[in-house]
Structure 1
């Protein structure tokens, strides 16, 4: 009984629940003691690693070639020296005269052979210094050279006391002490304990350390490679790799991904990427154990929110309004929910309008309070015609020297979103029996969308198609080739195959790191902007997303439509020109609120408002001078305008019409 602590006499026996806790406490105490002891051995481990690194740097193919050449030369010199010595011995036996020609010739040859052997030995020694053995092999040979003879001598003795006194026991102890010192030193030097590191991350950083990599690279087929010190970033572990020798490149290392994963003992689900490093003989290993978007709430949207977050750098990606975008992603990748923040931004502002084509009805109905929605093919045909008419009108008033019209509340940017384009392509190509009894189709809708994509960027009519299958040909293809050629921004969530990745990003996509078919689901994507050039980061981005109810809860916004009376695009000569008349009853109800629908009407309106010269008309209408000159001339010839020498341009009827 413990008399100092009476309470211990009644303490309960350890249970199954308390034993694991005690083991955990004991393990934590041992780890703390090891952490305290590790810095004492860190210099020894650092010197060992520095020497090992120095030796590995010298073990280049060039030095190996020189060593093999020196070994061959030394072997040849030794053979020559042995032959010369044998011949000299034979010459001495054949003649007792030391001055005989045979003995003198043999002596000279022997002397030259021994000199050549000495030179070859010195060259071999220097070559061995240039291509040294690894430090591990040197240590193993040194201990073996001491242990084997000592062990044989100890075995010959008969008493246990003699075993303890002979060098074999001391050699074994030295091996154990050296191994323990290296293990403790590397505990601090190669894998520093950082707050927040998981056990998996700590283990990967230990194996990426140069000391571990060098020892195990050759057995995994990664010889002549050497890692740098790994670093932990917000996106995971980043480690540089030096590549020595012929045929070693970042592309080669990427092809050895399985060997790298095997060396590191990496979990199958852990994502890894191998890319080019800072120099031609460098590669970069990125292990995605983390994401810079972790902890961020990307559900929901409000005006000004970022569309996505870079999972590597943490940078935000704004909504690319005004750019023609392809959105691709297989079922379940989050294509529709990720597109909603873009559509919300495209319909939020006074100078923006949204048009949605949706053959599946579901997404279109969600946006009916903020967008003009067309689900039936006849409605799509009507909307396409209106878009073409709007685009033609805008291009005609585009001022000279400008690349795009200035958007405003009266001339807004129109974003045309096509949801699931594969379904639209299939339905438009299907034949049906027309009213005249002949076969017909809706391919004119696709032709109209091609025109919108090719021609009306300057008119600020922007096409954004979305598809589950972004292939350009074959059965069930989901993208029109002419439309695809005009899309400058490619956004791909997870797609089904590498073929679809190449359809989105180009034939060189896989080689350059655009691997959308390897992305996790949902809401993780790759985005490539053609305007930014070839040197873009292939970092995955985490997309913002919205539920259908969040879209329905958004406030209503104005819905775009063309002025009544212009159902389709027509040449200017065929368009009905609005004439200035005194009879107000002849003007439709919507005419006072609508802009003129032809350049002729704009010129007439400008003259009626006080423009007296061609220059005044140009300033008021925004038309270029050549167009104004032609229209003024035609209107004067038709009698709709009068050109007075003193007053300038006047409407038909002169001062009377002005006063009216």
Structure 2
């Protein structure tokens, strides 16, 4: 046996156990030391003189009272007349002596408070009050039977008092590596239970106790015990006080969350990043083997890889200069290698890099064509799925990427028909293998220039946000996880590509990046639309086609006219046949009646052609 190693292992285990127990005893030791210090400060020479004078006066008063009581008894024995002069004089003297003794006793009590016994002496007195009688009781009870529990109990109490003080005053030693910075050393010292308990009341944090802090890949982590009425929420509201207590920098990211047990909180200080030593450059090797997932980046606290659904609708938000385009590229590359991509770039710079690799749309006509063709592909797949009797598309995924949604919305917001198609892509496309990804610098749904439409945003369930401008944008960017506070991410190049993922927790992620050279190395695959979807099972009747879009896709008016020619006679039947909403059907019927292509019979049924005069 290696005795040296065994001794080292035992010592380390014992030290770890003592480190875990010390914070529990720290409040007791602090209260003891504060009370002992208070008593020692009161034990001045002036207070001692006052106590001695009070004791002298009290002793004299007691002697006078004893003499008066004796004279009172002598006078009562001398005569039976209660109104005799001797008895009245003795009573008056006894009453005065009693009042004087009571007054000196109160002054003596006050003097003893001003000059108290030391806490150590008081503890000895208290322990003696139960130690001596318990020892005598054990001795008497042991004459018949061996009974030692009174003395053992007394000794246990004495030992508990001494051990509690020793553990509470124990300085916890934190073993750290040599790479520890000066800031981290200071934070570790101030998070030590002995320092925390002593100074916490000055910051309004009385009733909280820390455990020995630890260095982790993402920074400093320690647990805080919450006594009394403290909760994790009330502690989080005191974040500024905690920062002042430990002397943290204003820019240092501090997070307070719930621990694995009730009554405890976890304090995390991001003094370092777990992703610092890992290259952020994306390569195809980072594509997960699971076809339903794709890699977003690394957790800066744990260093773990973070995966998000591949076939889910996505919203990426980030102000200018936060690395949004660079963070978005690895996801687009993943979608390109796994399926088909249509990149609709409102600004055009990003499309310059992707144009040789995949389908892009920059100009107004290209954008409208891309929206129409993507919507037509979604409709075609709907009919194909119906024929095959399946509910989820099992072929290649078509990912429609909107880069800078504000520009795209500004372009088509007056074109209600194409706007409706874009909305339907977000709401109906996922099960048909047509998935919408949306990126914007302005995650707003209201105002004159929204970054994402208010009917599209609720359908984008996966949300990642880099730094945004304010709380309103944070609310849209992360929805019910806006408390992650993406608007508080520090500025600077070192925080480009850093953000929060909705539902993952308030832990910052560092995304993968892909440069221009990496994009150019990807294989070329330009998506083209498939054959148009059939209007119905029966051959469509011959009719005059009007108001056809330049792309060749029938307009809503053509669909309504075709449905009436096919036998539909009411607005409800037309809506069922075309799949359009009732408002659109009513509007188009009115326009066709005005143009003379349709008319209504006497019973309100729709007919083609001019109404007879």
- Length-normalised TM-score, structure 1: 0.56
What corresponds to 2:506 in structure 1? 538
Question: Which of 554, 559, 564 is the equivalent residue of 2:526?
Answer: 559
Question: Which of 243, 267, 275 is the equivalent residue of 1:293?
Answer: 275
Residue 240 to residue 57, structure 1, CA distance change in 2 (3 Å): farther
Q: Is 1:266 the counterpart of 2:248 in the alignment?
A: yes
Over residues 140-161 of structure 1, what are the superposed CA-to-partner deviations in whole Å (9 max), with x where a residue is unaligned? x99xxxxxxxxxxxxxxxxxxx
1-structure distance, mates of 2:454, 2:539: 32
Q: CA deviation at 1:451?
A: 0.5
Q: Is 1:482 the counterpart of 2:455 in the alignment?
A: yes
Gaps of 5+ in 1: 1-38, 60-84, 122-132, 143-180, 430-440, 530-535, 578-660
1-structure distance, mates of 2:22, 2:312: 57
Give the conservation status (yes or no) of the 8 Å contact 1:380–1:445. Answer: no
Q: CA deviation at 1:238?
A: 0.4
Residue 228 to residue 469, structure 1, CA distance change in 2 (3 Å): same
2-structure distance, mates of 1:467, 1:197: 39
What corresponds to 2:500 in structure 1? 526
Q: CA deviation at 1:216?
A: 0.8
Q: Is 1:318 the counterpart of 2:286 in the alignment?
A: no
Q: Is 1:339 the counterpart of 2:328 in the alignment?
A: yes
What corresponds to 1:150 in structure 2? none
Q: CA deviation at 1:477?
A: 1.5
Aligned residue for 2:215, secondary structure, equals strand
Residue 540 to residue 49, structure 1, CA distance change in 2 (3 Å): closer
Q: CA deviation at 1:276?
A: 1.9
2-structure distance, mates of 1:49, 1:488: 43
2-structure distance, mates of 1:227, 1:206: 12
Comparing 520-529 and 220-229, the one that deviates more: 520-529
Question: Which of 395, 402, 407 is the equivalent residue of 1:423?
Answer: 407
Q: CA deviation at 1:319?
A: 5.7
Residue 575 to residue 362, structure 1, CA distance change in 2 (3 Å): farther
Give the conservation status (yes or no) of the 8 Å contact 2:210–2:224. Answer: yes
Residue 387 to residue 572, structure 1, CA distance change in 2 (3 Å): farther
Question: Which of 206, 209, 214 is the equivalent residue of 2:189?
Answer: 206
Q: CA deviation at 1:221?
A: 1.7
Residue 55 to residue 293, structure 1, CA distance change in 2 (3 Å): same
2-structure distance, mates of 1:193, 1:97: 85
Residue 575 to residue 543, structure 1, CA distance change in 2 (3 Å): farther
What corresponds to 1:359 in structure 2? 346
Give the conservation status (yes or no) of the 8 Å contact 2:316–2:477. Answer: no
What corresponds to 1:640 in structure 2? none
Q: CA deviation at 1:402?
A: 4.8
Over residues 218-248 of structure 1, what are the superposed CA-to-partner deviations in whole Å (9 max), with x where a residue is unaligned? 11221111111111110000011112222x2
Q: Is 1:276 the counterpart of 2:276 in the alignment?
A: no
What corresponds to 1:74 in structure 2? none
Over residues 189-241 of structure 1, what are the superposed CA-to-partner deviations in whole Å (9 max), with x where a residue is unaligned? 33434332222212211110100101111112211111111111100000111
Residue 194 to residue 555, structure 1, CA distance change in 2 (3 Å): closer
Q: CA deviation at 1:48?
A: 9.0
Q: Is 1:257 the counterpart of 2:239 in the alignment?
A: yes
Over residues 262-318 of structure 1, what are the superposed CA-to-partner deviations in whole Å (9 max), with x where a residue is unaligned? 111112222111122233322111000111101111124324344301111211123
Give the conservation status (yes or no) of the 8 Å contact 1:377–1:442. Answer: no
2-structure distance, mates of 1:479, 1:375: 18
2-structure distance, mates of 1:495, 1:457: 28
2-structure distance, mates of 1:562, 1:58: 80
Q: CA deviation at 1:55?
A: 4.5
CA RMSD of aligned residues (A): 4.4
Q: Is 1:302 the counterpart of 2:266 in the alignment?
A: no
Give the conservation status (yes or no) of the 8 Å contact 2:478–2:501. Answer: no
Over residues 451-493 of structure 1, what are the superposed CA-to-partner deviations in whole Å (9 max), with x where a residue is unaligned? 1111111111000000011111123221111111111200001
Aligned residue for 1:241, secondary structure, equals strand
Over residues 476-519 of structure 1, what are the superposed CA-to-partner deviations in whole Å (9 max), with x where a residue is unaligned? 22111111111120000111112211112225631xxx211122
Q: CA deviation at 1:383?
A: 2.3
Gaps of 5+ in 2: 1-11, 34-61, 83-89, 110-115, 124-165, 288-294, 542-613
Residue 518 to residue 402, structure 1, CA distance change in 2 (3 Å): farther
Q: Is 1:516 the counterpart of 2:498 in the alignment?
A: no
What corresponds to 2:112 in structure 1? none
Give the conservation status (yes or no) of the 8 Å contact 2:353–2:516. Answer: yes
Aligned residue for 1:458, secondary structure, equals helix
Comparing 269-278 and 323-332, the one that deviates more: 269-278
- 1:430-441 to structure 2, matched below 5 A, reads 441=414
- 1:382-397 to structure 2, matched below 5 A, reads 382-397=369-384
What corresponds to 1:54 in structure 2? 28
Over residues 639-660 of structure 1, what are the superposed CA-to-partner deviations in whole Å (9 max), with x where a residue is unaligned? xxxxxxxxxxxxxxxxxxxxxx
2-structure distance, mates of 1:398, 1:57: 74
What corresponds to 1:571 in structure 2? 535
Aligned residue for 1:427, secondary structure, equals helix
What corresponds to 2:149 in structure 1? none
Over residues 416-444 of structure 1, what are the superposed CA-to-partner deviations in whole Å (9 max), with x where a residue is unaligned? 00000011111223xxxxxxxxxxx4333
Give the conservation status (yes or no) of the 8 Å contact 1:303–1:348. Answer: no
Q: Is 1:413 the counterpart of 2:397 in the alignment?
A: yes
Aligned residue for 2:337, secondary structure, equals coil
1-structure distance, mates of 2:217, 2:538: 63
